[in-house]
A and B are shown apart, each in its own frame.
Chain A
Amino acid sequence: MKLISFLIVAAVSVSLAAGAIRLLNVSYDPTRELYQNINAAFVKQWKAKTGVDLVISQSHGGSGSQARSVIEGLQADVVTLALAYDIDAIADKAGLLPKNWQGRFPDNSAPYTSTIVFLVRKGDPKRIKDWNDLVRPGISVIMPNPKTSGGARWNYLAAWGYALRQSNNDESKAKDFVARLYHNVPVLDSGARGSTTTFVQRGIGDVLVGWENEAFLALNELGKDKLELVVPSVSILAEPPVAVVDKIAARHGTAAVAKAYLEFLYSPEGQEIAARNYYRPRSKEVAAKYDSQFPHLALFTVDEVFGGWQKAQKKHFEEGGTFDQIYQPGR
């Protein structure tokens, strides 16, 4: 017993002597502001709880690109990506976390949700109200590339799901609809933040299709006198998941703090921060508090319409998949 106590004290001493604990959160494109706020709050809470200084670094990019970086060696203690498939890829290809990672936190390890909405120019000069307006000739739609961006894959599936509903689940009509949609996309950015830049700062396009939180952020930053939010009749329930990258965290000795960090996202404080950053909270109490902030619309899930991310990825986004068939770059 004495020996165990000695070892624990020694380990803690070594940790303290080594200075602050460092954590790297590898996330997707539009979560910069969210995790700046989350990190500040958690660092403060961790210091108060343990007395140990914590430094959390963030890395952002297209969700698919970020997953590839982790597979290729980026030392992520935790990943907070746009979709489950990207974390599945880390588990499958690099074996850095178990394949059942999604069951380790509540709500399939997705502590907040979002959806896909539209942002148009003030006054909605092209009269864009729903998905079918995006495929009209002459409409310029701004969305990122589904090959690199998780958000773009949510966009794509949202459009596909809408088309299925409109066509009584006719896959060929859905494919034609999405092909027409991408025919109207003149610029494919690699990530959601890049598309926002294209639409808002560069003034390109009639409509930006993207994350709800990103749309609110653009409205707040650029002003409601220049842009308008358009909520389609139906969209997809986006569930961005989070996970501890076990092997890297174990190597860094950060497994416990990484787990606590992700648990913090489910805490009342973490849920409040998510809501303030326009992510839909899981907590019913916090959701009720921010109910007026989020538009009400019919939402479907990936599981309901596509049978899960694995199937959706294979059918639509793999090499030679539907997206490759319908999208012709440099049209």
Chain B
Amino acid sequence: MSQQRKMWIGLALIVSMPSIPARAQSADQNGRQLDQKIQELQKQVDELDQRVKIAERNKELKDEEAATRAKNAASATADTGGFTIKSNDGDFLLKIGADLQVDNRAFVGDGSALGADTILLRRVRPTFSGTVFKYVDYYFRPDFGQGTTVIYDAYLELKYFRAAKVRVGKFKPPVGLERLQSDDDTSFVERGMPTLLAPSRDIGYQISGDVVPQRVNYSVGVFNGVPDNGLSDVAVSSHRDYAARLFLTPFAGAAGNPLSGLGFGSGISSGGVDGIALPAYKTFGQTTFFTFAPGVGSAGHRTRLSPQGYYYLGPFGILAEYTLTEEGFKKGLVQRDIAFRAWQVAATFIVTGEKKAFTSPTPKKSFDPAKHGWGALELAARVGDFSAEKGIYTYGFANSATTPRHAHEVVGGVNWYLNRLLRISLDYGNTNFGGGGAVGNRLSERVLITRFQVNFI
């Protein structure tokens, strides 16, 4: 009998004593009544004891259930990675991010007549991404910048087989290296010349994965087909564009190996272009320098080839890319294939010592002067070149008096990463042209672009 139970019985006896008529009963009767009373009280105490234990056990079970529910409950976080809602097992995930870029373009020199000084919202892109049912990733990213609404990315990716992820929807076809780099990670406010010849976004199917984890990556896909540097939501004909890319990082992850930051490969695409919109090529300052003559249309076939590579070592990085596009054009009865070539070599150096990579650096110390934190500072320089073969004039596909067939750019810039999300960039670009003037060459374009960028995805 527990101490608690004995105490209950004792107390009950004391309380009940006065009710026993001591003088009228014999000792035996008194004893029997007392025993009976004790038994009744014992029963009551047992019942009370059971009730207490049952209540305690039920509370224990409820607590266990609540703990299990809490363990399995979804979590919501808000940090430098954006806003995230995630199921406990990680099988369901929603990330809400955003990319906001505010640019100031200031043209200098005689060539500035083609571009107007402006402050603009270059990109305004909310991002919704995540996972459903563990194996299906999704990504949705519209853009409201520059007064337009465009769906840039909208796709699902089945990642059950890591070596063969299946992506469907609208996304970047696997051709250009710098194009595949997120605009948050590029070292310059505008991309280089080879990216002018690569597709921007297209709708299609793609299978990709690592043949050798982290070292050999492939992508193959079939797409509607879009103009160079273009995007579209519909196919203009039944032709399709087939794209593939193989990229190797043979020493990735090899700690201490100076070649661990080496990556190289090539992208390629091929497909019909009948009826497809004509491309228009822009300078670093985003003025259009190359347009086709009236009456010209795409016809026949287009092939792109883009050998590419990068090398990162400590704070130093270099990215090089070459793109050849050979595409059929038609004007009247004349139909010819014209080759466009572009290349760039870009070098960067992070003065504050952070490690440079294909993705943007995270400052060792975020900007916080009170704590001697100034962020990360990066210097960047790029040389690039674009050319169309001479036939572009010969066959009347472009007007030599208004459209240069050659452009050469030199860009220098500074990037200040205040923290993982906020970046301020200042780039100066000079573009010289070959042809495109009424007499001789079009005047050079010189532009100073500053950018304030907030990005979290």
Contact = CB atoms under 8 A, between A and B. Distances in A.
Chains A and B form a bound pair: yes
Interface of A: 73, 140, 186-190, 194, 198, 202-205
Interface stretch (B27-35, B53-61, B99-107, B284-292): B53-61
Nearest to A194: B61
A262 B104 CA distance: 71
Contact of A73 (B50, B54, B56, B134): B134
B91 A187 contact: no
A177 B99 CA distance: 66
A204 B50 contact: yes
Contacts of A202: 53, 56-57
Contacts of A189: 61
B89 interface: yes
B134 A204 contact: no
Contact of A140 (B50, B56, B89, B91): B50
B61 to A, nearest CB: 7
Given A73-B89, A73-B91, A73-B134, A187 B50 contact: no
Given A187-B58, A187-B61, A205-B50, 6 more contacts: A73-B91, A73-B134, A186-B50, A188-B61, A202-B56, A204-B50
Interface in B38-79: 50, 53-54, 56-58, 61, 65
A187 B89 contact: no
B57 A187 contact: yes
Contacts of B134: 73
B30 to A, nearest CB: 27
- Most B CB contacts (10 A, CB to CB) among A140, A190, A204 go to A204
Nearest to B56: A202
Given A73-B89, A73-B91, A198 B50 contact: no
B91 A204 contact: no
A204 B53 contact: yes
The B interface, classified by DSSP as helix, strand, loop or mixed, is helix
B89 A186 contact: no
Contacts of B89: 73
A186 B61 contact: no
B74 to A, nearest CB: 14
A204 B55 CA distance: 10
A140 B53 CA distance: 12
A87 B304 CA distance: 54
A186 B91 contact: no
Contact of A198 (B57, B65, B91): B57
Contacts of A203: 53
Nearest to A197: B57
Interface in B117-156: 134
B454 to A, nearest CB: 37
Nearest to B52: A204
Contacts of B58: 186-187
A194 B56 CA distance: 14
18 contacts: A73-B89, A73-B91, A73-B134, A140-B54, A186-B50, A186-B58, A187-B58, A187-B61, A188-B61, A190-B61, A194-B61, A198-B57, A202-B57, A204-B50, A204-B53, A204-B54, A204-B57, A205-B50
A123 B61 CA distance: 29
Nearest to A186: B54
A187 B62 CA distance: 11
A70 to B, nearest CB: 14
A45 to B, nearest CB: 34
B1 to A, nearest CB: 13
Interface string B425-455: 0000000000000000000000000000000
Q: Name the residue in B53, B56, B134 with the highest tally of chain A Cβ atoms < 10 Å from its Cβ.
A: B53
A188 B50 CA distance: 15
Nearest to A330: B58
Contacts of B54: 140, 186-187, 204
Contacts of B61: 187-190, 194
A219 to B, nearest CB: 21
Nearest to A329: B58
A33 B341 CA distance: 73
Contacts of A186: 50, 54, 58
Interface string B214-227: 00000000000000
For the complex of A and B, the 6 pairs showing the least CB-CB separation, nearest first, are A186-B54, A204-B53, A187-B57, A202-B57, A198-B57, A204-B54
B311 to A, nearest CB: 33
A202 B58 CA distance: 11
Nearest to A198: B57
A37 B76 CA distance: 43
A5 to B, nearest CB: 25
A73 B134 CA distance: 9
Nearest to B53: A204
A1 B91 CA distance: 43
Contacts of A73: 89, 91, 134
Contacts of B50: 140, 186, 204-205
Contacts of A190: 61, 65
A310 B53 CA distance: 37
Contacts of A140: 50, 54
A203 B49 CA distance: 10
Interface in B238-277: none
A78 B270 CA distance: 49
Contacts of A187: 54, 57-58, 61
Nearest to B160: A251
